[in-house]
Structure 1
Amino acid sequence: MMASQRRPCIQQQSGVGGQSAWPDLPPELLERIVGVLGPRDRVAVRLVCASWRACVRESFPCDLPFEAPRLLLRRPGAGGGLAFFSLQHRKILAFALPASLSAGRCCGHIGGWLAMASDAERSVVLCNPVSGRSVAVPAPPVFPVSKMVLSRPPTSPGWTAAALGRTGTIALLQPAVSGGAWMTIGLDEGARHGGFRDMAFWSGGLCALGHDGAVLAFRGDLRARTATVSLLRDADHAVGELGRLSWSWQVYLVESDGELLLVRKLYTVRRNSEAVDLEVEVHALSSDSAGQRKWELVAEMPGRAVFVGSVVSAVVPVALYPAAGLRESCVYLARRQVELLAPHAICEYSLVEEEMRGVPIAGGHSTDVEPVWITPFV
């Protein structure tokens, strides 16, 4: 998440010391004005100054940027557009994406920016649905793209993008250095680990998760077109090994305030029964007194909740969203497989209680496109 640059208050000569009168509008008048605006315009209003932002927060708390994580999903039916489902309000938000974005497939998100891929045109565009700004990205050499991560929003200097193809290949892009040219990395390492299934920026580099459970760290020099690699986690099993671990577990990499997490989940359908069991494990990479890194099983995460998915994963402080009903030490999941629990549902798994519960998605969504967690911004 990233705090957007605040725009200065509108400067208008009021005749009294040359100060602007806009921040001093009576709250009830400002509330009436904001009340006739749509969600997108209310988002623009809160960028003007602190008093206007406070008015929007207090009077319209359900506006997009101020909520706990929500799902970007495609509405059911032919030509269904993209919309947001509010975990806090248990309903589809009125804030819908522009039609120009609805034709694309979301493959990433950071700081309010969405990475939207067009498989037919083999293109990716970074866009901000609030400001309306967009940044074109050169076509990655790993299409179709299953996931794109950015080191920081594209309005920040020196930002780097990584694209993960569905074939398990990764490419890096740093526009300020590479002049718009992508660099494919880890081809040999990827082959040894069965290809890559997830990735995350962490500690100044890119971490990649192999299909065998190994975690590798890459540090790329895009100017020199080279990358160094180190092993952060050994493989769980051999490449090509058939078994419960390699085929049933879904594994995710999550960065959280300098900490690297590995989340594993397993759905098990009981034979001759519609009941579904769910196991979730969270492992954190830590360092001992000698500086040696090791992975430790996490039994609880006080004050934090984890949201995981194949496109976006994030860790959120629950205290920031008291009205959302988030539970600390819980892992929130939303995948097409979750239909095993209930049609159109989010799964909430408690690490402490080792139990799950489902949250229905009112209004439904298309299961042809996986829902994507969008974390709060601005």
Structure 2
Amino acid sequence: MAMDSGWADLPQDILTLIADGLTIDSHACVRAVCTNWRSLLRPAAPSLLAVLYDAEQREGGWRLCALCLSPKTSTVLKRRMATMLCLGSRCVGSGDGWLAIDDPILRLVNPLTDEEIPLYSFTRGRLSKVVIAPNPKQSNFTAAAITGRNRLIYTTAGNNSWADVQCPRLADGDGLTDVMYHEKAAGKKVVYCLTRHGDVHIVHLPGDRGQQRPAVVEPLLSKNFDKGAAFAAPYNTISKHTSAKNLVFCNGNLYQIWRNTSCTVTSQLPSGGRCRVLADQIFVLRYYPRRRPCWNPVKELGGCSVFVGMNNAISLHVKGDNPGVRGNCVYWIGGQGRNMGMEFDMETGTSTPCFPGIPLQRDICWYHLGDTRSSNSHNLVTPAYRLRKRTRRA
């Protein structure tokens, strides 16, 4: 049945007011009603998936919740989650509405639609992180994963097989620490890999199933990687004290996000003097291909915000009047002895909890729908999901 033109032409302020009271799945349905509504309503902002203790729950008190950064969602809605996860489940990836869950069979799940894709073909070691292309299908999807210390594997043929990628010039003591999926023009699929030393490798994946060509790997820097040439002092020294490193694209530029996950450290600089790196201190470096050193520290992201962690890293354009997601901020998960969503303000250089006062047992990952990567931020009430034990597969 066609929509009445009067509803299709509903003013944006009224439509936005209605959408502000919807859950994330209902909001997605409203945006799909017609072309006009989709253009007027911005996609949902990322949410934080976390295990929350609820004393009112009869089944153990723990449930999986989605917490939105909008202040309108200071309380968590009590809504049953379609896909249930057990407390022992380990999330190893997130992107475009899907989660990669290892418990113990690796599987992709969509918490909003209850779709599930078991990855029976994966049997090789403990995963560090998984990234997937949008809209995976049971028999045909693209995924890449870090397994072990320096091993990258990928599949472009669904559950049929996984292939190894040999990243060149990994120095002694170096290894892969982050992977990011990025789809270029003409549907070309690319994976960016980041090492603990800050070196970047670009993996050009073959096409969809049926194409047996191997992946092509090239370093971001054509010459041998050298910290002194890549990072100016003191960042060539700071690099070894920031074990958490992530890659993200923002406004077409490539950035590295570094964080010191240990205690405060003080190092002697080769040129003299000392360098002090605080616990959980964050550094943001932008790639300038025509400069040497080519990775340089920055204090802003052009008004955007970025979300890093177990999720495939995303960036959002943020309007100044949006009270939910703030511009020039890095949203991350961690903290000394804690596991919580944090907001790093690049201007002040400080991090603060995103949800102070909410008794979270553990934070899992940032969760976002497929079209948030290039969208403006939007306030949205997201659903809360309940957690129950799941019978494990043999």
Residues 268 and 278, structure 1, Cα contact 8 Å, conserved in 2: yes
> How far, CA to CA, are the matches of 1:300 and 1:52 in structure 2?
32
CA distance in 2 between partners of 1:217 and 1:325 (Å): 34
**Which residue is equivalent to 1:123?**
106
Matched, 1:288 2:271: no
Partner residue, 1:92: 76
In 2 relative to 1, CA 199–316 (structure 1 residues): closer, same or farther, beyond 3 Å?
same
Aligned equivalent of 1:226: 214
Contact 2:193 2:200 in 1 (8 A): yes
Cα 1:145–1:38 change in 2 (3 A) is same
Cα deviations by residue, 1:97-119 (Å, 9 ceiling, x for unpaired): 3243456433222222222332x
Unaligned runs of 5+ in 1: 1-9, 12-19, 58-64, 238-242
CA root-mean-square deviation: 4.2
Distance 1:98 1:278 in 2: 35
Q: Does 1:298 align with 2:298?
A: yes
What TM-score do the two structures reach when normalised by structure 2?
0.67
TM-score, scaled to structure 1: 0.69
Are residues 1:353 and 2:348 paired? Answer: yes
Cα distance change, pair 255–150 in 1 and its aligned pair in 2 (3 A): farther
Instruction: Note closer, same or farther for the CA distance 1:95–1:139 as it changes in structure 2 (3 Å cut).
Output: farther
- Cα shift at 1:24: 4.2
Partner of 2:367: 374
Structure 1 residue 82 corresponds to structure 2 residue 59: no
Residue identity matched to 2:253: E
Task: Give SS of 2:113's match.
Answer: coil
Assess, with a 3 A threshold, how the Cα gap between structure 1 residues 188 and 302 changes in structure 2: closer, same or farther.
closer
SS at match of 1:213: coil
Q: Does 1:68 align with 2:74?
A: no
Structure-2 separation of matches of 1:235 and 1:81: 47
Please give the per-residue CA displacement for 1:160-202, whole angstroms capped at 9, x wherever unaligned: 21012254421111127xx721101126655856331111134
Does the 8 A contact of 2:343 with 2:351 survive in 1? yes
SS class of match (2:198): coil
Q: 1:263 aligns with which of 257, 276, 279?
A: 257
Shift of 1:254: 1.4
Counterpart AA for 1:331:
V
What's the secondary structure of 1:44's corresponding residue?
A: helix
Instruction: Report matched runs for 1:1-378 at 5 Å.
Output: 10-11=1-2, 21=4, 24=7, 40-41=25-26, 43-49=28-34, 66-76=43-53, 80-89=62-71, 90-95=74-79, 97-101=81-85, 104-118=89-103, 120=104, 122-125=105-108, 127-154=109-136, 160-175=142-157, 180-186=160-166, 194-202=174-182, 204-221=189-206, 223-224=211-212, 226-232=214-220, 234=225, 236=227, 245-246=239-240, 248-266=242-260, 269=263, 277-288=279-290, 294-319=294-319, 322-335=321-334, 338-339=335-336, 345-367=340-362, 370-378=363-371
* Counterparts of 1:146 and 1:88, CA distance in 2: 30
Moved more, 196-205 or 34-43: 34-43
Distance in 2 separating the partners of 1:174 and 1:201: 13
- Residue identity matched to 2:82: P
CA distance, structure 2, for counterparts of residue 35 and residue 267 of structure 1: 37
Q: Per-residue CA shift, 1:110-166, capped at 9, x if unaligned?
A: 222222332x2x2222x3333343444343244432211124332699852101225
Bigger relative contact order, structure 1 or 2 (CA pairs below 8 A, ≥6 apart): 2
In the TM superposition, residue 251 of structure 1 has moved relative to its aligned partner by 0.9
Aligned CA distance change for structure 1 residues 53 and 199 (closer, same or farther; 3 Å): closer
What is the CA–CA distance in structure 1 between the aligned matches of 2:20 and 2:350, rounded to whole Å? Answer: 42
Q: Provide the rounded CA distance (Å) in 1 between the counterparts of 2:100 and 2:328.
A: 29
Q: Do the aligned partners of 1:74 and 1:366 also contact (CA within 8 Å) in 2?
A: yes
Higher helix share: 1
On the 8 A contact 2:83/2:112 being kept in 1, the answer is no
Q: d(CA) in 2 for partners of 1:41 and 1:309?
A: 27
| Compared CA separation, residues 257 and 96, structure 1 to 2 (3 A) | farther
AA at the equivalent of 2:107: V
Give the gaps of 5 or more residues in structure 2.
55-59, 229-236, 266-277, 372-394
Contact between 2:93 and 2:310, CA under 8 Å: does it hold in 1? no
Correspondence for 1:60: none
Instruction: Note if contact 1:306-1:315 (Cα within 8 Å) is conserved in structure 2.
Output: yes
> How far apart, in 1, do the equivalents of 2:241 and 2:202 lie?
24
Instruction: Describe the SS at the equivalent of 1:360.
Output: coil
**Distance change (3 Å), C-alpha of 1:359 and 1:220:** closer
Partner Cα separation in structure 2 for residue 173 and residue 248 of structure 1: 30
For 1:255, give the aligned amino acid: F
Q: Secondary structure at the match of 2:220?
A: strand
Q: Percent identity of the aligned residues?
A: 20
Aligned partners of 1:123 and 1:138 also within 8 Å: yes
SS at match of 2:307: strand
Instruction: Give the Cα–Cα distance (whole angstroms) in 1 for the partners of residues 68 and 179 of structure 2.
Output: 26
Query: How many Å apart are 1:308 and its aligned residue?
Result: 1.7
